[in-house]
Amino acid sequence: MEKIKEIDKLMLRGASLCLIVALILAWCLIGVYTLNSFRSFFEGNPDRVLSAHLDFLIMSSLIFGLAATHVPLKSIIKWFMVVGAFTNSSTFLVFAIFPISDPASDLYATDLLANDIFEYGRYMSFIITTIGFGGGAVAVFKSTF
């Protein structure tokens, strides 16, 4: 069996973990919509669990796809993709577990310092994710010339 290039390991590991989390969340969705015991853990909007599930699936697909191109990517771009995939997707889980942190929830606490900090963390996650996947897309695009 051919050894996986060192350049691809981070992306393959990150995408695999995203896919595993998405599969776990698929089972959590069944629990959220059918068992009351799951509702006590995911106290927020159950649609946020679905959003997290879909986001983890999308992120894993994007990372697998970019890794499959075998276009060399800078290490920082790979790290931003993997870290961004987890932080961006996990935002929905935080909303599902802690409705007080969800701006779309009636329970949202506007005067809570933790929510202000979390909001800046979300913005950083969006920036990191954009740089990672945008950088990967630019590298693939440039490789076609």
Residue pair 106/43 in contact (Cβ under 8 Å)? The answer is no
User: From its phi and psi, is residue 112 left (phi > 0), alpha (psi between -120 and 50) or beta?
Assistant: beta
Domain-by-domain residue ranges, the chain? 7-142
Q: Please list, in sequence order, all residues whose beta carbon lies within 8 angstroms of the beta carbon of residue 7, skipping any fewer than 6 positions away.
A: 72, 73, 78
Please report, in tens digits, the pLDDT of each residue of the chain (145 residues total).
455 555 588 999 999 999 999 999 999 999 988 887 778 888 888 899 999 999 999 999 999 999 999 899 999 999 999 999 999 999 999 999 998 888 888 888 888 888 888 889 999 999 999 999 999 999 999 999 9
